[in-house]
Amino acid sequence: MRQGRWRPLLKIAALAVVAACAACSRAPQQPASSDASPAAQPAASSRDVAASPPLVAAARAQIGVTRLYDPAYVRLSYPGGDVAADRGVCTDVVIRALRTQGLDLQQAVHEDMRANFAAYPSNWRASAADRNIDHRRVPNLRRWFERQAWSLPVSDRAADYRPGDLVTWDLGRGVPHIGIVSDRKSYRGRPLILHNIARGTQEDDLLFDYTITGHYRPKLDRGTANVAR
């Protein structure tokens, strides 16, 4: 997808993410309903899912299921809590995919934040960990990934990004975004990204369209114990 087509979506995404941050400071609410169904890609076939790396397959399986971008604050069950499967934000793509691989980011981030609250960003002026929203915020995920030694150098070479890697961006004016590197490539030879920017889970060509702020490679084979530093 050419970058020009992303400009309207960038505006929508920026407003939605800002709304998500604002919603977290208000009283919890249920997700807003929507009568309009954004255009969604067809659900991935079982053949496509089986042929891809597990994390990529888990993210791709969300296409056609998660159809809405909804940043509403929601009270979640714990552990393993999730918003309705048909909606979510960019972080929910990652949370759901990693959960299929045995890592519950809700519990992992919450436990680490309770024990090491000062180590995490204070963007939201929170005074304590919140298991309903902390793991759904990109800055918190970035800090948790760093504390697990998942960080890799940010590069402008497509070959440095492997299927299943996690990438974060600044969409402009400090608006964060996160996605999973796919095993498919665009006509430009760039890895596609599995993400939710405004239309539900999609697989798009945007790796180098925005400023990359983080590159991470999950080490799921080494366990999911929090790192105390």
Residue 35 lies in a domain: no
Is 213 part of any domain? yes
Q: Is residue 197 packed enough to be buried (19+ CB in 10 Å), middle (13-18) or exposed (0-12)? A: buried
Residue 228 lies in a domain: no
User: pLDDT, tens digit, for every residue of 184-197?
Assistant: 999 999 999 999 99
The answer to whether residue 106 is domain-embedded is yes
Query: What pLDDT does residue 51 have?
Result: 78
Residue 227 lies in a domain: no
Q: List pLDDT tens digits, range 111-133.
A: 999 999 999 999 999 999 999 99
Contact 114, 130 (CB under 8 A): no
Could you tell me if residue 91 is inside a domain?
yes
What total number of domains does the chain contain? 1
Cα 228 to Cα 163: distance, rounded to the nearest angstrom: 28
Give the DSSP H or E segment for 162.
none
Instruction: Note whether residue 34 is domain-resident.
Output: no
- 51 phi and psi angles, rounded to 5 deg: -85, -10
Query: Which residue type occupies 122?
Result: S
Cα 115 to Cα 55, 173, 200, distances in angstroms: 28, 31, 33
Which helix (H) or strand (E) covers residue 146, if one does? helix 138-147
Q: For residue 76, what are the domain limits?
A: 3-29+40-222
Instruction: Return the H-helix or E-strand segment holding 193.
Output: strand 191-195
pLDDT value, residue 155 = 97
With a cut of 50, list the residues of the chain below it in pLDDT.
Answer: 1-3, 10-43, 45-48, 225-229
Which DSSP helix (H) or strand (E) runs through 20? helix 7-23
Residue 71 lies in a domain: yes
